[in-house]
């Protein structure tokens, strides 16, 4: 993992400043110190990090553009900007701004707060910060503390090293500074996990600690899925991932929580499920993802939403590619999506008819061109509905919380749309439920972080299952949205209000994907 880290503002275009300095702080001076030290710490633990201070700009717009231009030129996985807050002298605490990186932002804010003894104001969402919206990699903007608050300033000065270590380790996931405290094994606790009856195992999940967690780690380590999982008795991110991978591989419910089902499978040495066969080999998937990355639509700044997460572009390219193959194989759902424009006010291709005509994208004939144009519209539609985030949960401000009405995933579809595309919608649900090899979840997930609340689904039965599948199997979300756009487009507010952007460049990218698929030999 590589980081590009810059200090906020510029030498000749200063940020905030407390008064008097000291004990209060000057934002630019301190942000530079933090960046220098964090990069130094990262480099000593072999995390690649590069830094930048703007020493030339004299106005804010030049400054912002200079910083972002530097970031976008670096080979890195994350962009980080360091600032200090200022308000009325009384406000205090640490916070981290994000656009797509909620989880990382929360983690870094908590780590800085703990190290400095600051109030943790936590992660803050914004789609209006120039840095977050224009850096091409997942980005966070740190407000270390309030430089015009005396108590915060004093804490910062006395805990400087600890704070820098906390930033370095929470960003990179690599422990720095003091070694982590391990829970020592309890006296008399047996060495062999299997000597404890499975019935007496508690339910354990993220955040839990102790001997049961250590035993779970031991058992996971015996599977093929968790190479090198540290048996430290602390249920953190790596244990969570290992547990989820294990559950998926054994056909169990994937929730990262070890209850009787998961413990039982580990005790019995349950064999992995046979891998279902996907449409594309992993090499072919990578070629398709690369087409998405290299396209000009990948850098497009969607209105009010910014640049799409890398996962969204490559995921949608894969979803279209698979859907295109299904059309060639006369899949009934694909045939319905690719039908010629109807005159219905529930057909998005009819609602957007003049936009399509203006771009020379005719939908008067059934077939691949119409399917591709539909996906071009969907590329803008998913940005509008979820900012391209596969795990997007229901709109927390809306009251749609029942199984049938809770919206889920990239396109914020809800299950009550299913009857408009009967029986294809429900048939897709059973197909994708039984074979997840064409879901492309890990492709869609790149550059997107998801909160626990977002993974939560509502109600029960088919509606609940639909929400879950939309988030965990993003190409299913795409295919059901494709059906809904053709048969119940008024389900989507942005389509009715014509806020969804239709871009010719989206079609150009998808055409390149289609050409690629035409050029390869499919094995399955
Ligand atoms: Zn600032």
How far, in Å, is the centroid of ligand 1 from the Cα of 212?
45
Cis ω on the peptide bond leading into residue 23 (within 30° of 0)?
yes
Mean pLDDT of the chain: 92
How far, in Å, is the centroid of ligand 1 from the Cα of 269?
54
Cis ω on the peptide bond leading into residue 201 (within 30° of 0)?
no
How high is the pLDDT of residue 241? 79
Region of poorest pLDDT, from 75-84, 127-136, 220-229: 220-229
How far, in Å, is the centroid of ligand 1 from the Cα of 87?
11
How high is the pLDDT of residue 395? 75
Confidence label for 216 from pLDDT (cuts 50, 70 and 90) = very high
Distance CA 163, CA 111 (A): 8
How high is the pLDDT of residue 254? 83
How far, in Å, is the centroid of ligand 1 from the Cα of 379?
34
How far, in Å, is the centroid of ligand 1 from the Cα of 229?
39
How high is the pLDDT of residue 453? 78
How far, in Å, is the centroid of ligand 1 from the Cα of 18?
12
How far, in Å, is the centroid of ligand 1 from the Cα of 33?
14
Mean pLDDT, residues 66-92: 94
How far, in Å, is the centroid of ligand 1 from the Cα of 491?
41
Mean pLDDT, residues 8-19: 93
How far, in Å, is the centroid of ligand 1 from the Cα of 141?
9
Distance CA 208, CA 354 (A): 56
Q: Which residue has the tokens 């039965």?
A: 461
DSSP 273: P
Distance CA 215, CA 73 (A): 46
- Least Cα distance to 295 among 272, 267, 274, 320 occurs for 320
Confidence label for 179 from pLDDT (cuts 50, 70 and 90) = very low
How far, in Å, is the centroid of ligand 1 from the Cα of 92?
15
How high is the pLDDT of residue 183? 52
Helix (H) or strand (E) holding 334: helix 332-337
Confidence label for 344 from pLDDT (cuts 50, 70 and 90) = very high
How far, in Å, is the centroid of ligand 1 from the Cα of 9?
6
Pick the CATH number of 195-267 from 3.40.50.2300, 1.10.101.10, 3.30.565.10, 2.40.50.140: 1.10.101.10
Contact of 66 with 54, CB cutoff 8 Å = yes
Q: Strand locations in 99-232, DSSP E? A: 120-125, 139-146
Q: Which residue has the higher pLDDT, 456 or 219?
A: 219
What is the tens place of the pLDDT at every residue in 363-406? 999 999 999 999 999 999 999 999 999 998 887 777 777 888 98
Position 184 pLDDT exceeds 70: no
β-pairing verdict for 139-146 and 94-98 = antiparallel
Contact of 90 with 149, CB cutoff 8 Å = yes
How far, in Å, is the centroid of ligand 1 from the Cα of 112?
17
User: What is the model's pTM?
Assistant: 0.55
Region of poorest pLDDT, from 3-7, 161-165, 280-284: 280-284
Position 496 pLDDT exceeds 60: yes
How far, in Å, is the centroid of ligand 1 from the Cα of 76?
23
Region of poorest pLDDT, from 2-6, 191-195, 358-362, 393-397: 393-397
Q: Which residue has the higher pLDDT, 507 or 457?
A: 507
State the Cα angle at 513 between 511 and 516, rounded to 5°.
110
Neighbours of ion ligand 1 (CB under 5 A): 8, 15, 83
Burial class (CB in 10 A: 0-12, 13-18, 19+), 343: exposed
Confidence label for 67 from pLDDT (cuts 50, 70 and 90) = very high
Q: Percent of the chain scored above 90 by pLDDT?
A: 74
Q: What are phi and psi of 323, to 5 degrees?
A: -65, -35
What is the tens place of the pLDDT at every residue in 375-386? 999 999 999 999
Sequence-ordered list of residues with C-beta below 8 angstroms from that of 376, at least 6 positions apart, any chain: 361, 502, 503, 504, 506, 507, 510
How high is the pLDDT of residue 276? 63
How far, in Å, is the centroid of ligand 1 from the Cα of 368?
50
How far, in Å, is the centroid of ligand 1 from the Cα of 465?
44
Distance CA 304, CA 302 (A): 6
Distance CA 328, CA 485 (A): 20
How far, in Å, is the centroid of ligand 1 from the Cα of 395?
31
HSE-up (13 A, CA, CB side) for residue 250: 26
Confidence label for 181 from pLDDT (cuts 50, 70 and 90) = very low
Distance CA 214, CA 193 (A): 9
Sequence-ordered list of residues with C-beta below 8 angstroms from that of 156, at least 6 positions apart, any chain: 25, 30, 116, 144, 145, 163
User: Is 55 strand, coil or helix?
Assistant: coil
Contact of 131 with 7, CB cutoff 8 Å = no
Contact of 246 with 222, CB cutoff 8 Å = no
Q: Which residue has the higher pLDDT, 487 or 45?
A: 487
Count how many residues are written for the chain. 524
β-pairing verdict for 2-10 and 94-98 = unpaired
Domain at 2-172: CATH architecture: 3-Layer(aba) Sandwich (3.40)
Domain ranges for the chain: 2-172, 195-267, 282-519
How far, in Å, is the centroid of ligand 1 from the Cα of 27?
7
Mean pLDDT, residues 420-438: 92
β-pairing verdict for 78-85 and 94-98 = unpaired
What is the tens place of the pLDDT at every residue in 97-122? 999 999 999 999 999 999 999 999 99
CA dihedral 429, 435, 438, 441 (to 10 degrees): 80
What is the tens place of the pLDDT at every residue in 271-288? 887 766 789 988 899 999
Distance CA 311, CA 442 (A): 8
What is the tens place of the pLDDT at every residue in 125-138? 988 899 999 999 99
Position 225 pLDDT exceeds 80: no
Region of poorest pLDDT, from 184-188, 275-279, 333-337: 184-188
How far, in Å, is the centroid of ligand 1 from the Cα of 454?
30
Sequence-ordered list of residues with C-beta below 8 angstroms from that of 217, at least 6 positions apart, any chain: 226, 229, 230, 231, 232, 233, 239, 242
How far, in Å, is the centroid of ligand 1 from the Cα of 143?
7
How far, in Å, is the centroid of ligand 1 from the Cα of 524?
54
How far, in Å, is the centroid of ligand 1 from the Cα of 235?
36
């Amino acid at each position: 993992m590589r980081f590009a880290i810059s200090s906020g503002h510029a030498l000749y275009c200063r940020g905030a400043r407390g008064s008097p300095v000291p004990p209060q702080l000057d934002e630019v001076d301190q942000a530079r110190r933090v960046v220098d030290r964090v990069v130094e710490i990262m480099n000593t633990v072999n995390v690649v990090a590069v830094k930048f201070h703007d020493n030339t700009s004299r106005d804010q717009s030049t400054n912002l553009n200079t910083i972002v231009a530097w970031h976008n030129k670096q080979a890195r996985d994350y962009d980080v900007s360091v600032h200090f807050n200022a308000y009325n002298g009384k406000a205090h605490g640490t916070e981290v701004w994000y656009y797509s990186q909620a989880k990382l932002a929360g983690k870094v804010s908590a780590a800085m707060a703990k190290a400095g003894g600051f109030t943790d104001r936590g992660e803050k969402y914004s789609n209006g910060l120039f840095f977050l919206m224009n850096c091409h990699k997942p980005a966070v903007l740190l407000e270390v503390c309030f430089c015009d608050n005396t108590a915060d300033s004093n804490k910062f000065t006395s805990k400087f090293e600890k704070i820098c270590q906390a930033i370095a380790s929470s960003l990179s996931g690599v422990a720095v500074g003091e070694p982590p405290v391990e829970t020592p094994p309890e006296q008399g606790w047996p060495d062999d996990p299997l000597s404890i009856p499975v019935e007496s195992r508690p339910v354990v999940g993220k955040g839990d600690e102790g001997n049961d967690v250590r035993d779970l780690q031991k058992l996971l380590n015996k599977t093929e899925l968790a190479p090198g999982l540290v048996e430290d008795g602390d249920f953190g991110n790596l244990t969570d991932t290992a547990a989820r991978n294990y559950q998926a591989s054994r056909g169990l419910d994937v929730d990262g929580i070890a209850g009787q089902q998961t413990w039982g499978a580990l005790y019995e040495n349950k064999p992995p499920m046979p891998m279902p066969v996907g449409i594309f080999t992993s090499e072919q998937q990578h070629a398709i993802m690369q087409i998405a990355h290299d396209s000009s639509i990948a850098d497009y700044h969607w209105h009010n939403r910014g640049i799409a997460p890398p996962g969204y572009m490559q995921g949608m390219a894969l979803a279209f590619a698979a859907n295109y193959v299904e059309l060639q194989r006369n899949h009934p759902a694909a045939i319905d999506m690719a039908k010629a424009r109807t005159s219905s006010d529930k057909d998005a291709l009819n609602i957007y008819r003049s936009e399509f005509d203006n771009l020379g994208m005719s939908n008067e004939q059934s077939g691949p061109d119409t399917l591709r144009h539909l996906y071009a519209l969907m590329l803008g539609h998913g940005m509008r509905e979820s900012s391209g985030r596969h795990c997007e949960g229901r709109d927390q401000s809306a009251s749609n919380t029942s199984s049938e009405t809770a919206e889920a995933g990239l396109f914020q579809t809800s299950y009550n749309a299913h009857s408009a595309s009967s029986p294809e919608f429900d048939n897709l649900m059973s197909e994708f439920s039984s074979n997840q090899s064409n879901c492309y979840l890990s492709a869609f997930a790149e550059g997107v972080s998801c909160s626990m609340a977002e993974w939560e689904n509502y109600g029960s039965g088919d509606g609940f299952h639909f929400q879950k599948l939309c988030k965990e199997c993003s190409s299913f979300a795409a295919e059901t949205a494709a059906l809904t756009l053709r048969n119940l487009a008024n389900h989507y507010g942005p389509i009715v209000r014509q806020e969804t952007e239709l871009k010719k460049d989206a079609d150009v990218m998808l055409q390149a994907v289609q050409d690629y698929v035409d050029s390869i030999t499919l094995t399955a």
